Structure 1
Amino acid sequence: MIAKLEMLIALAREQHFGRAAESLGITQPSLSTGIRQLEDQLGVKLVLRGSRFGGLTPEGQRALVRARQIVGDTRRLREEMRFAREGLSGNLRIAVIPTALTWASRLASVFRESHPGVAFSIQSRTSTEILTMLENFEVDAGISYLDNEPLGHVSTAPLYRERYAAICGPDHPLAAKAQLDWADFAGQELCLLSPDMQNRRIVNRAFMEAGIIPETSLESNSTVVLVSHVEQAGLATVLPVELARYLVSGRELVSIPVAAGEGPTVGLVAPYQAPHTPVLQALLDTAEGLAAQEFD
């Protein structure tokens, strides 16, 4: 039954029989058979079928909610039993907004000092994608903004407040200042994160409150692309302070802080559980320890 519920979750996530089967490492006929067997066991039609996947029926939507609960509970039980046998071990999958990747590395390094039996898999994703991946059990936790847009029913542990800096060449007009205001970017050609990134929406709001419209000649979801373009095209970009400091290291670029009030809080996001698995609780505790140093 658990395997068939996982098939339903995968199908709802991928919206395609072939992709869902591939994500589970099974053949498409096996997936189709499993879904039909689940329908027979539950006595209802779960999936709208035609020449292709047509979505879930109302009964399928209700079954999906319960399937996620059951599969989540089953995975937590397995984790608890593994902890009883082996202590903290396994692989933690974390999805991270691009601007927090240096913090993800710090969190993983500190965690592994105390729990070397746990490996990490870290992916760069948008804040919206992170919530979807948590819901579909594609990751165990995320690092994202906590107070800027709705998160839903999740557990959180703050890590830091985001502050910003401009990155530009040493001969750029902005480089002459020790500190910038958002209004200083008026008339400057910029390259910025793409609009699907929550960081871009935050920066856009800061520009709007300063009464300016940024002149953007390049957008990307990659911070590496932005800094490379700053180097090659002589533009400027805006990124969180710690990430900016890391990206300019070893390059002929400068980082200038942007004066602002307290920025949005970034932290660990995990599915709400009572209780959490031992490894996830240890991760939340590690995040709280790092935050205590940051907010002290």
Structure 2
Amino acid sequence: MQLRALRYFVTLAREEHFARAAEACGITQPTLSSALAALEDQLGKRLVERDRRYIGLTDEGRAMLPWAQQLLAAHEGMVHAVEVLDGPLRGEFRLGVIPAATPCVGQFTQALLRVHPAMTISVRSQTSREIVRAIEAYEIDAGITYLDHERPSNVISVPLYAERYVFVTATGGKCPGLGEVSWREVAGYPLCLLHQGMQNRRILDGLLSAQNLSVNPRATADGYVALLAMVRSGGLATVMPDRYVGLIDGADWASVYPVAAEASVSRIGVIVGDRAPLDPIAAAALNCARSIAEAAS
């Protein structure tokens, strides 16, 4: 059984489209279809339901998928284990990051590339649930996500920092007084926030609920760039992690206020799959996280 054919099969299951899967594999669609047909002939089972387009996996295909993912990951881990004996790791490091943690990506990638300069890094913006699913499916090597709320299972984690919040309004509009802003004051503004599919929004809703408060935002988005654009246009305000303050530092259109910490903060950290043996790339991610946390302490 060829690993190449298994990789095509796993990619098709992820992309759910023949042309996109072929493009992701860097091959033509006929080559993909031929390799899959050969794999099915070898197993004596049909793995993919198809007519002129992809319909889905058969029962046999769904049963085989996690084993194919695990086999490909084991092969990659074996290569990395041999490779690391000769020096720094090579290849692609795949990192999933929640939007709330995007500002810390630069520090993390710098730390990783300092130790493994021959690596390349692919960063994906994902929700916390997508990160856990992608780690389970061996689609990413590590994630930066929340550690305490909706705690991920079957992972090894290293905390990076504790998340705190700031309130952002447009300069010249309605603004609170000096100093910290309470959640009650926040709830009194017309808001734009992340949608409820994002864990940061669910955490904010929980903090508000603890104060017997709730909000119905005028607008929602899946990232902070869109929220800040709406704030800048005037009329709306938002709440975001304090790590974003550095990205808008000096912007004359933004007024930023710390939100009073009336509840426990949320920890954000690096997670990898809890597997043995641990892929050297996953180990490298944990080591980088520990070095960042130690430097900050």
Output the CA distance in 2 between the equivalents of 1:194 and 1:247. 22
Output the CA distance in 2 between the equivalents of 1:149 and 1:238. 20
The CA RMSD measured in Å over matched residues stands at 2.1
* TM-score, normalization by structure 2: 0.90
Secondary structure of 1:184's partner? helix
Output the CA distance in 1 between the equivalents of 2:121 and 2:11. 23
The answer as to 2:38 corresponding to 1:14 is no
Q: Which residue of 2 aligns with 1:54?
A: 55
Structure 1 stretch displaced more, 91-100 or 80-89: 80-89
Report the Cα offset of residue 178 of structure 1: 0.6
Q: Which residue of 2 aligns with 1:120?
A: 121
8 Å contact kept, 2:88–2:115:
no
**Inter-CA distance 89–27: structure 2 relative to 1 (3 Å threshold):** closer
Structure 1 stretch displaced more, 263-272 or 146-155: 146-155
Report the Cα offset of residue 106 of structure 1: 1.1
Q: Which residue of 2 aligns with 1:111?
A: 112
Output the CA distance in 1 between the equivalents of 2:120 and 2:51. 42
Deviations 1:28-79 (A, max 9, x none): 2222222221122222222223343232222212211110110000011111
Output the CA distance in 2 between the equivalents of 1:236 and 1:262. 23
Question: What letter matches 2:156 in structure 1?
Answer: S
Deviations 1:200-220 (A, max 9, x none): 121122223323332422222
8 Å contact kept, 2:88–2:117:
no
8 Å contact kept, 1:168–1:175:
no
The answer as to 2:185 corresponding to 1:184 is yes
Structure 2: gaps of 5 or more residues: none
8 Å contact kept, 2:168–2:231:
yes
8 Å contact kept, 2:97–2:145:
yes
Q: Which residue of 2 aligns with 1:286?
A: 288
Question: What letter matches 1:280 in structure 2?
Answer: A
Report the Cα offset of residue 278 of structure 1: 2.7
Question: What letter matches 1:113 in structure 2?
Answer: R
8 Å contact kept, 1:90–1:118:
yes
**Inter-CA distance 195–53: structure 2 relative to 1 (3 Å threshold):** same
The answer as to 2:248 corresponding to 1:248 is yes
Deviations 1:164-183 (A, max 9, x none): 11112344544413112211
The answer as to 2:275 corresponding to 1:273 is yes
Deviations 1:109-154 (A, max 9, x none): 2233333333322232222332333344443211111222253423
**Inter-CA distance 30–128: structure 2 relative to 1 (3 Å threshold):** same
Question: What letter matches 2:282 in structure 1?
Answer: L
* TM-score, normalization by structure 1: 0.90
**Aligned residue pairs, count:** 294
Secondary structure of 2:76's partner? helix
**Inter-CA distance 268–109: structure 2 relative to 1 (3 Å threshold):** same
**Inter-CA distance 101–216: structure 2 relative to 1 (3 Å threshold):** same
Output the CA distance in 2 between the equivalents of 1:153 and 1:62. 21
